[in-house]
Amino acid sequence: MENTSLIAQKAIKDLLNVTKDMQVIKDEDVKFLAENKNHIAKVFEKVHMWRTNTQKLSIISDEYFPTIHSKFHQSILESKVQTDQLFYLMKGFEEKKLEIEELTLDLEEINTKFPSKRIKIEVKRLELNIAFKKYELNQQKIAAEYRMREIKDWTKIQKALLEKMKGKTEEEIWTKDAGQIEFMFFSTLTNLHGIEKTTDGAEYNNLMSLAKFSVQQAKELNIYDSLVKRCNKYQLDSLKFLGKI
């Protein structure tokens, strides 16, 4: 089986063959693309789509998602999006293959007809469409590989987070509401720490309102004291600012 690099090279080569006589770019530019097709193919294959593993971890950093539960729910949202799009991509990939088959049949049939200027034009159009669809097919294949990488990385992260939530019930883990108050308590206090820098009255009121609401909810659920013990310096500063400690 051909590897991805060879498939990409062939797809670009075929596309260049049917577009070489087009006048949209200069002759020397056509020559440049032809001479560098292997490098261009490697660029298409290797350029990193979406996020690196480090970037994934930064998304669920303590600054944005200060609890294990909130990290988990953001990570399953990320992987759900990638998985959903992978399935659409797989469907599109198969449809594209069928389109190529149909166009190839059209080309075979038209080549049996008496040659004329109109037939020659149609042959060129079919060859162009087939070559470009093969190029698109290759891009879809590369995208699918990167979407799978996203899914695998997020799944690995989720399993590590699940390990940290051992002892919790299925409902406590998988229900987002179950950890929402705890998440809001820490995140709103973190955001409130920067309130002195804002000059926007609406933003000021929003930060204050959310922090007060989160503190009140924690007190009503009798988890306030336990949450305070887990606060970092910035969150404790925010509680002092609110006059809560």
Quick: pLDDT tens for 181-235: 999 999 999 988 877 776 677 888 888 899 999 999 999 999 999 999 999 999 9
Residue 83 has a pLDDT of 94
The type of residue at 166 is K
What contacts 24+ positions apart, CB below 8 Å, involve 223-226? 223/181, 223/182
Residue 1 has a pLDDT of 38
CB atoms within 10 A of CB 202: 8
The type of residue at 180 is Q
22: its two tokens: 């087009």
User: Sign of torsion, CA 133 136 138 141?
Assistant: negative
34: its two tokens: 């032809």
Residue 9 has a pLDDT of 66
Residue 150 has a pLDDT of 93
Answer for the pair 138, 11: CB distance below 8 angstroms, yes or no. Answer: yes
The type of residue at 131 is A
Place of tokens 């600012």: 241
DSSP 24-85: SS-HHHHHHHHHTHHHHHHHHHHSPPS--HHHHHHHT-TTT--SHHHHHHHHHHHHHHHHHH
Residue 201 has a pLDDT of 75
Residue 145 to residue 138: CA distance in whole angstroms: 11
Residue 170 has a pLDDT of 94
Question: In residues, how long is the chain?
Answer: 245
Cα atoms in the 13 Å half-sphere on the side-chain side of 111:
11
Place of tokens 């929003």: 206
Residues of the chain below pLDDT 70: 1-25, 198-199
Answer for the pair 16, 34: CB distance below 8 angstroms, yes or no. Answer: yes
First-last CA distance in the chain: 67
Residue 209 to residue 192: CA distance in whole angstroms: 10
203: its two tokens: 């933003």
Cα atoms in the 13 Å half-sphere on the side-chain side of 80:
6
